[in-house]
Amino acid sequence: MDFKLDKSHLLQQQLFRNFAETEIKPLAKEMDESEQYDLDLLAKMHKYGFFGIPYSKEYGGCGSDTLAYTLCMEEVSKVDASTGITISVHTSLCCSCINNFGTEEQKQKYLRPLIDGSKTGCFGLTETNAGSDVQGAQTVAVKDGDEWVLNGSKIFTTNSGFADTCVVFALTDRTVPAAKGLTAFIVDLKEMPGITVSENIERMGIRAASNCIVTYENVRVPADRVLGPVGKGFKIAMGALDCGRIGIAAQAVGIAQGALNEAIKYGKERKQFGKPINSFQNTQFKMAEMQTKIDAARLMTWRAAIAEDNHEAFGPLAAMAKLFASDVANEVTRFAVQAMGGYGYCREYPVERMMRDAKITEIYEGTSEVMKMVISGSMKLK
Ligand SMILES: Cc1cc2nc3c(=O)[nH]c(=O)nc-3n(C[C@H](O)[C@H](O)[C@H](O)COP(=O)(O)OP(=O)(O)OC[C@H]3O[C@@H](n4cnc5c(N)ncnc54)[C@H](O)[C@@H]3O)c2cc1C
């Protein structure tokens, strides 16, 4: 493994950084306060290919890789974590399922518009009684001729307020555990009768991201929209979450680096006891400690991304990266607020938003406790 980026990745990183600084950063505060994602920004990112980074040009993607995708996730999350999750759920959860399990026809029909910039995707797995434990799923799909009839409700479906396509999971066999009875379906949120999307769920952080309850009532889904084999939905969902965790780790690295950068900038200017606060050794040592942890989290994230790009087993590596990076994001953002004193606590400065945004990285796409289950499960402890 190489510990530095090659020319192509450095170039992509610079492009993502420039876009984040000029197009996303100026909107981040207003989007957080209004709890609305800016749809013009969404359209612009689609146009520039931000939603198809690791996917083949054959289907309209950028033909890049997971490592480049983590660079994008870090750069956008440095200035706005809501943008990070918007890209991440579309790319790693929705598109990865279709890319990895779709037939050629499904890829042409459903993946192409998602990665060529025409449509936005989401992923519906979580239900009120099925969070960490997918076994609690109650959404069902019953076969009726050439169609499946879908009934149930999914909570916390990110992007669903404006998304077109959703990969949704439903029980097609209730006589077996969900691990064997779940099936994945590709549905059109805006076009299929019987689908209702709630208002945005009010949240502590990533407030600009769209996150709603999606209800399915007698939704008729043609059989050619079944993704992968019937009964293999659990495997598809877990595979997507493995991919997704790399993106969340990168999001956490971005939030942490963004907050530390703000604290460094502030500490150069802010004077107390006649000196800039960055000249106190206590501040310098703390900054050094935070940067070291961020670098470690970044390297773990790149390691997981490179393993995925090399088609090696990456699930536990992704879980380690997410576990560590999300912890670092929370520690660093807390520090950044502290280092900026009362001003860090005010909404005028972005670190208070970053501290609120950091918390979710320990919860979604598997909580930190679930990450420890994945990691310990791979350690042959018994
Ligand atoms: C903003 C946001 C966006 C989201 N986006 C999506 C999305 O796009 N699609 C989607 O399908 N889902 C999404 N989710 C759902 C998210 O993945 C779940 O919230 C998460 O997996 C945890 O499930 P839960 O909230 O039901 O918590 P629970 O599973 O009820 O967990 C509660 C607590 O118990 C702990 N716990 C549970 N079981 C164990 C155990 N066996 N051992 C030790 N501790 C345990 C957990 O770690 C946690 O601390 C999103 C959630 C949020 C808040």
Q: Is 2 a residue whose pLDDT tops 90?
A: no
- Which residue is closest in CA terms to ligand 1's atom 38? 132
For residue 19, the CA-to-ligand 1 centroid distance in Å is 32
Per-residue pLDDT tens digits for 157-185: 999 999 999 999 999 999 999 999 999 99
- Phi, psi (degrees; rounded to nearest 5) at 4: -130, 155
pLDDT of residue 189: 98
pLDDT at 3 over 90: no
Structure token pair of residue 226: 């079944």
Q: Which of 269, 362, 365, 369 is catalytic?
A: 365
Would the pLDDT of 191 be above 70? Answer: yes
Average pLDDT, integer, range 12-33: 98
320: which residues sit within 8 A by CB, 6+ positions away? Answer: 300, 304, 371, 375
Q: Note the pLDDT tens digit of each residue in 311-349.
A: 999 999 999 999 999 999 999 999 999 999 999 999 999
Full set of structural domains in the chain with CATH: 7-115 (1.10.540.10), 121-234 (2.40.110.10), 237-377 (1.20.140.10)
Give the Å distance between the CA of 241 and the centre of ligand 1: 12
* Distance from Cα 314 to the centre of ligand 1, integer Å: 21
Q: Average per-residue pLDDT in the chain?
A: 97
Which pairing describes strands 275-276 and 147-158: parallel, antiparallel, or unpaired? unpaired
Give the C-alpha separation, 131 to 172, whole Å: 19
CA 318–ligand 1 middle distance (angstroms) = 17
pLDDT in tens, 123-140: 999 999 999 999 999 999
Each residue of 351-363: pLDDT tens digit?
999 999 999 999 9
Q: What are 212-266's pLDDT values in tens digits?
A: 999 999 999 999 999 999 999 999 999 999 999 999 999 999 999 999 999 999 9
The answer on pLDDT for 58 being more than 90 is yes
Residue 365 Cα: closest atom of ligand 1: 17
Atom of ligand 1 nearest to the CA of 159: 8
- Nearest ligand 1 atom, CA 205: 1
**191 is a catalytic site residue:** no
Q: Is residue 82 over pLDDT 60?
A: yes
Q: What is the average per-residue pLDDT within 1-11? A: 87
By three-state DSSP, how is residue 341 classified?
Answer: helix
User: pLDDT at position 107, please?
Assistant: 97
Residue 209 alpha carbon, nearest atom of ligand 1? 1
Distance 86 CA to ligand 1 centre (A): 18
Residue with CA nearest ligand 1 atom 29: 132
Please report the atom of ligand 1 found closest to the CA of residue 133. 29
Asked whether 121 and 294 are in contact (CB, 8 A), the reply is no
Asked if residues 326 and 296 have their Cβ atoms less than 8 Å apart, the reply is: no
Please state the rounded mean pLDDT for residues 3-25: 96
What is the pLDDT averaged over residues 299-318?
Answer: 98
Which protein residue has the closest C-alpha to ligand 1 atom 35?
Answer: 369
Element (H, E) at 276: strand 275-276
Pairing of strands 165-171, 182-188: antiparallel
The C-alpha atoms of residue 145 and residue 222 are separated, in whole angstroms, by: 9
Q: Per the structure block, which two tokens stand in for 204?
A: 């502590």
User: Alpha-carbon distance 199 to 124, whole Å?
Assistant: 16
Q: How far is the CA of 257 from the centre of ligand 1 (A)?
A: 25
Pocket of ligand 1 (CB under 6 A): 89, 122-126, 131-132, 156-158, 203, 206, 211, 360, 363-367, 369-370
Residue nearest to atom 23 of ligand 1 (CA): 131
Judge whether 187 and 147 are in contact, CB under 8 Å.
no
Q: How many CB atoms lie within 10 A of CB 281?
A: 7
Percent of the chain with pLDDT over 70: 99
